[in-house]
Amino acid sequence: MIDIPVLSELVKFTHPKELCQLSCASKTLHIDLQGTKAWARLAEAQLPPPTPRDDSEARSHVWRREVAKTLPHPRRVLEGVTLLEALSRETPAPFEFTRNRFTDFTYFLRLEDSGRLIWEGDLGDLSRESYEEGQVLRLSLRHMDFGWLGPADNDDLEQVQIALVAIRNHDQAMVPLGQFDFHAAWSDSDGDPRNLRFRPRRSLFYSPRSQLNLLPCLSVAQDANDRRLELGLSHIIREPREVSHTHTIYRCNLSPFRSVLTYLAGIHNPIARASILARIEGCFVAGERRRGWLELERARVKAERVARVEALRERDEIDVARAEAQLEALRKKGTRLYWEPAKLNHELLVLERERELATLLERVEARRELREQDEAEASRAEADF
């Protein structure tokens, strides 16, 4: 009998059934196959072990997870500036600067239910979508398992939370887009797709009158190829009426969204950074003016001016009345004086008081003319807006 050694290199090309038959052929072959770890090599050939991730990739994933747990710091715009003052400011000089595209970022999503991690990872297949209320950014979720999602019961979804991070590809700058709590769910007439809307815990930018918020929506269809995350930037403006607590939501187009992402990811050039911030503030000014905040500020400024003019007029009338009363009292006192030197001194005092009264009247008249000029200039300034 010829003893043929078993070559371990050929085991991985063997069918499992044939390897089993070879192992049962003789005791010697059985021992040889055990010595070469034939079954382990065959298993590796049939199902290769997963390759460990690179250390830098693992660190990047851990860092994304940590950034996702942090809340973004809201940026204030138009700080210390009224809407009238913002419209009166000089427009900054144009600066050639290319904003980041949406494809320049990788988007990381973390999904939790009652604090339990459901899924986290990078999203892909980015596209744009236009609706009646505006444009949204659309990210595919084909690889996410939605088996955890039960029937359409809002009570079961109250504890669902998501966190979003945008990572700029060329420098790995990470932008926390926010943490979002479940808000509402509804379905189309046929029940598919099912939409889960979320609301942010903090705004990205805000002014005393409005704020820019990112409003994500998970669209969960039965078809795995149609599952998506929609990101829309909305401008939420408070009603200018002080007695009203309502607000209006405007869906921004994707141009301000690009400016927001570029600004938050960081710009080294200070002129470019100021230019991007001016674009964002322009979005605030346009929206707040459209909702009537400019008319409210004009009315408030006009009321303050009228109140100030009335206060000055009342003060002038009081000063004139006091001066006339003093002069009249001096004249009455002069009729009771018979001693010539005292009478002469009294007449000189009366003349001095008359001159002071004339000067006061001239000052009042000049102040009245200045008020009329101020009112005319204010009317022309209002007509210019």
203-226, pLDDT tens digit by residue? 999 998 999 999 999 887 766 567
Q: What is the mean pLDDT of residues 15-44?
A: 62
Residue 283 has pLDDT above 80, yes or no: yes
DSSP label at 156? G
Mean pLDDT lowest among 69-78, 177-186, 368-377: 368-377
**pLDDT (tens digit per residue) in 124-182:** 778 876 665 567 888 888 777 666 665 555 567 788 899 999 999 988 899 999 999 99
With pLDDT > 90 as the criterion, what percentage of the chain qualifies?
Answer: 16
Higher pLDDT, 137 or 91: 137
State the pTM of this model: 0.66
pLDDT at 306 (0 to 100): 76
Q: Which has the closest alpha carbon to 254: 105, 129, 76, 81?
A: 129
pLDDT at 261 (0 to 100): 93
Q: How far apart are CA 253 and CA 231, in angstroms?
A: 11
Most confident of 21-30, 93-102, 351-360: 93-102
Cα angle at 122 between 121 and 126, to 5 degrees?
145
Q: Which residue has the tokens 């973004």?
A: 72
Residue 256 has pLDDT above 50, yes or no: yes
Residue 36 has pLDDT above 50, yes or no: yes
**DSSP H stretches of helix in the chain:** 8-11, 16-25, 27-35, 38-46, 55-68, 83-88, 254-265, 270-290, 293-334, 340-384
Yes or no: say if 232 and 139 are a contact pair by the CB < 8 Å rule: no
Q: Which has the closest alpha carbon to 72: 184, 155, 144, 164?
A: 164
Amino acid letter for position 369 = E
- Average pLDDT, whole number, for the chain? 75
Q: What is the mean pLDDT of residues 83-94?
A: 78
